[in-house]
Amino acid sequence: MTGDVAVLGTGMHPWGKWGRSFVEYGTVAARGALADAGLDWREVGSVVGADTVRGGYPGYVAGATFARALGWQGARVASVYAACASGAQAVDTARTQILAGLTDVALVVGADAAPKGFFRPAGGDRPDDPDWLRFRLLGATNPAYFGLYARRRMAVHGDTLEDFARVKVKNAAMGALNPDARYRRRVTAEEVAASAVVADPLRLLDICATSDGAAALVLSSMAFARRHGAADPVRIRAVSTVTPRYPRTVLDLPDIATDSAAAVRPADGTFRASIARAAYEEAGIGPEDLSLAEVYDLSTALELQWYEDLGLCGEGGAAGLLREGATALGGRLPVNVSGGLASFGEAVPAQAVAQVCELVRQLRGTAGDRQVAGARVGVTANQGLFGHGSSVVVVR
């Protein structure tokens, strides 16, 4: 049995700081996806919501929250929380239901109304929670980790501040072409260098913001797609939600310490590299087959790390790939043609869904001025706290 499911519709609420409920954002995205699919809401058999933990009680039951907002019609619901990987797990849940024959059509929705400033743990004392501990014991906010990642790349691979700035310049140029992006202005390397230091060596323009926003997908079985008149739809071929392997010997957000490798040999490759590898294996492709990628650029330095983790180049080769223009629009393998988190900011439950929306639009050939010519295969890469992998392969 094929593992493909069809993507019949995509929808988004533009990213920004709108001061409204995440339910409103998600409903706008959902209705957009249904309109794009040419389907009535009553034809949806399942709603899978990616949760936001900042929205109060309704945020924890996002599937039912969106089903209620759209109008109760009896659909099954599921709600998923996996931090920044929530959207990919929501896609995987919907895909699994379709492949299991539980529904023909599923709606996936992720939406968030993010706080101002950097994310912090939910309230309460949780001494067994590494996310809570790193704030209480180290005062290590997310940007502190981003700075450590950047310093490591500088020390190990020779990346420079100029390389980090090139990532922002590239993504801002593509985000300027995306009507759903929050920041739609090109920036120069000089502007990046002149922005305030947040976590040395990273400047304000090296780090993504927190945002409000939403994204939605309408997925269906291939048989339903054909009956619906979509003879050759864009398809999701693989979803990777893998976890790390013991021992973990590399510092990783939010963990403070690493495991000992004295008695157990570490796995070949890092956790992030295993996320994409699992997606490639399930899809039966390799990095050489890709037309484009959407990656999780919490910081400019982290985007470079994803180049290597996706196998786009060898270890330490990311800056060279960037400098030659390979990952820019018109390059050999464009990365973050949506503009990435650099242009959108983080709307945590929505971002992995938004990555798939961008790939679908690119593979349909409807991405406008940021269109990647001849796009046929795309991959997303993302990571949630506490060992949640997130990678989706989309094909045409």
Tens of pLDDT, residue by residue over 342-385, are 999 999 999 999 999 999 999 999 999 999 999 999 999 999 88
Instruction: Give the residue from 137, 136, 86, 143 showing the smallest Cα distance to 112.
Output: 86
What gap in Å lies between CA 378 and CA 303, rounded to an integer? 16
Lookup: tokens for 90: 């929501």
pLDDT level of residue 137 (50, 70, 90 thresholds):
confident
What gap in Å lies between CA 207 and CA 152, rounded to an integer? 16
Pairing of strands 212-220, 105-113: antiparallel
Whole-number average pLDDT of the chain: 94
pLDDT value, residue 122: 72
Taking residues 72-87, report their average pLDDT.
94
Statement: residue 273 has pLDDT above 60 = yes
* Topology of the domain comprising 5-116+212-236: Peroxisomal Thiolase; Chain A, domain 1 (3.40.47)
Taking residues 11-18, report their average pLDDT.
97
Phi, psi of 202 (to 5 degrees): -85, 135
What gap in Å lies between CA 48 and CA 63, rounded to an integer? 5
pLDDT value, residue 261: 87
The boundaries of every CATH 3.40.47.10 domain in the chain are 5-116+212-236, 130-205+237-395
pLDDT level of residue 58 (50, 70, 90 thresholds):
low
Q: Which of 11-25, 115-129, 200-214 has the lowest mean pLDDT?
A: 115-129
CA gyration radius for the chain?
A: 20
pLDDT (tens digit per residue) in 324-339: 999 999 999 999 999 9
pLDDT value, residue 189: 98
Pair 353, 215: CB distance under 8 Å = yes
What gap in Å lies between CA 169 and CA 166, rounded to an integer? 5
Statement: residue 59 has pLDDT above 70 = no
Statement: residue 314 has pLDDT above 80 = yes
* Topology of the domain comprising 130-205+237-395: Peroxisomal Thiolase; Chain A, domain 1 (3.40.47)
CA distances from 323 to 160, 166, 169, 174 (A): 11, 8, 12, 17
What gap in Å lies between CA 358 and CA 10, rounded to an integer? 9
Phi, psi of 310 (to 5 degrees): -85, -5
Instruction: Give the residue from 226, 390, 363 showing the smallest Cα distance to 291.
Output: 363
Statement: residue 4 has pLDDT above 90 = yes
Taking residues 260-281, report their average pLDDT.
91
**Is the whole model's pTM more than 0.75, yes or no?**
yes
Statement: residue 54 has pLDDT above 80 = no
Statement: residue 258 has pLDDT above 70 = yes
pLDDT level of residue 252 (50, 70, 90 thresholds):
confident
pLDDT value, residue 249: 83
Statement: residue 48 has pLDDT above 90 = yes
Taking residues 22-39, report their average pLDDT.
97
Taking residues 130-142, report their average pLDDT.
85
pLDDT value, residue 1: 41
